[in-house]
Amino acid sequence: MNFSKRSRYGIRALIYLAWHTDCACIQLNDIAERNGISLKYLEQIFAALRKAGIVKSIKGPQGGYFLAGTPASIRVADIVSVLDGNYLLEAEEIPTEENGGAEALTVQSAVIDPVNEYIDQFLNTLTLKDLVERSEQYREAVQYMYYI
Amino acid sequence: MNFSKRSRYGIRALIYLAWHTDCACIQLNDIAERNGISLKYLEQIFAALRKAGIVKSIKGPQGGYFLAGTPASIRVADIVSVLDGNYLLEAEEIPTEENGGAEALTVQSAVIDPVNEYIDQFLNTLTLKDLVERSEQYREAVQYMYYI
DNA sequence: CTAAAAACCTATTGACAAAGTAGGTTTTAG
DNA sequence: CTAAAACCTACTTTGTCAATAGGTTTTTAG
């Protein structure tokens, strides 16, 4: 299981893109400064997102990135998959001896599997649209926090 | 979030101890061989479990380890806490700039928090007793798998 | 009393990945 | 033609996991 900076930065950047679907595109420089993320690191993240078809790009001055689909069509599971590889807990190695297997199988089926099932279901149901909706409360709150 | 070998080995070893509450104690050598785990590594794991009060030990020949409490009183959350530190996903760093905070707060509250809440609830409810009960089906199956 | 079995203790190592840095090339608007 | 931006590849740093190593201490059995 991974929920690395890479994924978190990616999701945050995509929320920002989703906020600005009215703009033609957004520059990485903009996002990097907003979030205190290294531009070079963001570039790598967006290279992956672009290759996976989640965003599209325009080169040259006034270029940038925009979402390839609607926010509702982009699942958080897709984003994390692209950026962190698999997001599930790794499967147990079941000992090949004549013993020890029962314990390992139990851990797999009673601990790992249920956690994985929940995470998988949760991340596959959650879309960028959901995140945008839930961000509304913070957009105001954040301005209040820092402008006072 | 960690679900390392350390935790998995620990849980497996504790299942094995719980199977043998009739024995005075179990030697690590036994468990290590059953599971193909290095004895030295298991010793470190059990040192942590002992210091946390999950198992007790007897030194000297015929010594070994046994559960400090009933299987029903040992939560999987306790085991993983001891062996992996915290088992939850780390909190987002919220940017201190006047911007970017809304995205980060959204990721925290809409993605990280719900996953953490589930894992926390799940691991705190699940006890070693549950694991022992669910291991029954595998104890037979495993013997069948390898003795045929 | 002694030898061996087991727990107990502390330090070190090797492999690997995450996070970020570095230094470019290519495309294209103005 | 120049500068802004994406695009590409390689490297570095840092830290953690999973062991390995080499002991010391305690205690039972003979």
Q: What Å value separates CA B26 and C1' C4?
A: 18
Contact B21, B64 (CB under 8 A): no
Q: Is the pLDDT of residue B144 over 70?
A: no
Nearest residue to B100 (alpha-carbon basis) of A142, A132, A72? A142
Residue B146 — very low, low, confident or very high, per pLDDT cuts 50/70/90? low
Residue A80 — very low, low, confident or very high, per pLDDT cuts 50/70/90? very high
Strand C closer than 7 Å to the CB of A6? yes
State the pLDDT at residue B98: 62
Strand C closer than 7 Å to the CB of A59? yes
State the pLDDT at residue B147: 46
Mean pLDDT of A61-74: 98
Burial of A43: CB neighbours in 10 Å, binned 0-12, 13-18, 19+ = exposed
Domains of chain A plus CATH, in order, are: 5-147 (1.10.10.10)
Which positions in strand D are less than 7 Å from the protein's CB atoms? 3-10, 17-22, 25-29
Nearest residue by alpha-carbon distance to C1' of C23: A40
State the pLDDT at residue A95: 82
Say whether A3 and B112 touch across the interface (CB within 8 A).
Answer: yes
Q: What Å value separates CA B77 and C1' D1?
A: 65
Identify the residues numbered 27 to 46 in chain B whose C-beta atom is closer than 7 Å to any atom of strand C. Answer: 27-29, 40, 43-44, 46
Cα–Cα distances in angstroms (integers) from residue B91 to residues A41, B29, B87, in the given order: 20, 39, 12
Contact A43, A64 (CB under 8 A): no
State the pLDDT at residue B143: 65
Express each pLDDT in A48-59 by its tens digit.
999 999 999 999
Mean pLDDT of A132-139: 92
Query: Across the A/B interface, how many CB contacts are shorter than 8 Å?
Result: 154
Express each pLDDT in B76-123 by its tens digit.
999 999 999 989 999 988 886 566 789 999 999 999 999 999 999 999
Nearest residue to A86 (alpha-carbon basis) of A77, A76, A94, A96? A77
Say whether B100 and A34 touch across the interface (CB within 8 A).
Answer: yes
Higher-scoring residue by pLDDT: A80, B3: A80
CA gap B74, A44 in Å, rounded: 44
Neighbours of A35 (CB within 10 A): 22
Enter the tokens of residue B92. Answer: 């987002």
DSSP B48: H
State the pLDDT at residue A98: 62
DSSP B97: S
Q: What is the mean pLDDT of chain A?
A: 92
Q: Is the pLDDT of residue A130 over 90?
A: yes
Express each pLDDT in B20-55 by its tens digit.
999 999 999 999 999 999 999 999 999 999 999 999
Percent of chain B with pLDDT over 70: 93
State the pLDDT at residue A112: 96
Strand C closer than 7 Å to the CB of B50? yes
Residue to mutate among A79, A80, A103, A138, with most B CBs inside 10 A, is A103
- Taking contacts as CB-CB distances below 8 angstroms, the residues of chain A near B130 are 110
CA gap B10, B16 in Å, rounded: 10
- Taking contacts as CB-CB distances below 8 angstroms, the residues of chain A near B11 are 103, 107, 111
State the pLDDT at residue B94: 87
Residue B148 — very low, low, confident or very high, per pLDDT cuts 50/70/90? very low
State the pLDDT at residue A76: 98
Q: Please, what's the largest Cα pairwise distance for chain B?
A: 67
Express each pLDDT in A6-48 by its tens digit.
999 999 999 999 999 999 999 999 999 999 999 999 999 999 9
Q: What Å value separates CA B59 and C1' C9?
A: 14
> What are the two backbone dihedrals, phi and then psi, of residue B57, each rounded to the nearest 5 degrees?
-130, 160
Strands A55-58 and A64-67: antiparallel
DSSP per residue over chain A, as a string? Answer: ----HHHHHHHHHHHHHHHTTTSS-B-HHHHHHHHT--HHHHHHHHHHHHHTTSEEEE-STT-EEEESS-GGG-BHHHHHHHHHS--SPPPPPPP-SSSSHHHHHHHIIIIIHHHHHHHHHHHHH-BHHHHHHHHHHHHHHHHHHHH-
Q: What Å value separates CA B9 and C1' D20?
A: 17
> What are the two backbone dihedrals, phi and then psi, of residue A75, each rounded to the nearest 5 degrees?
-85, 145
Percent of chain A with pLDDT over 90: 81
CA gap B30, A103 in Å, rounded: 14
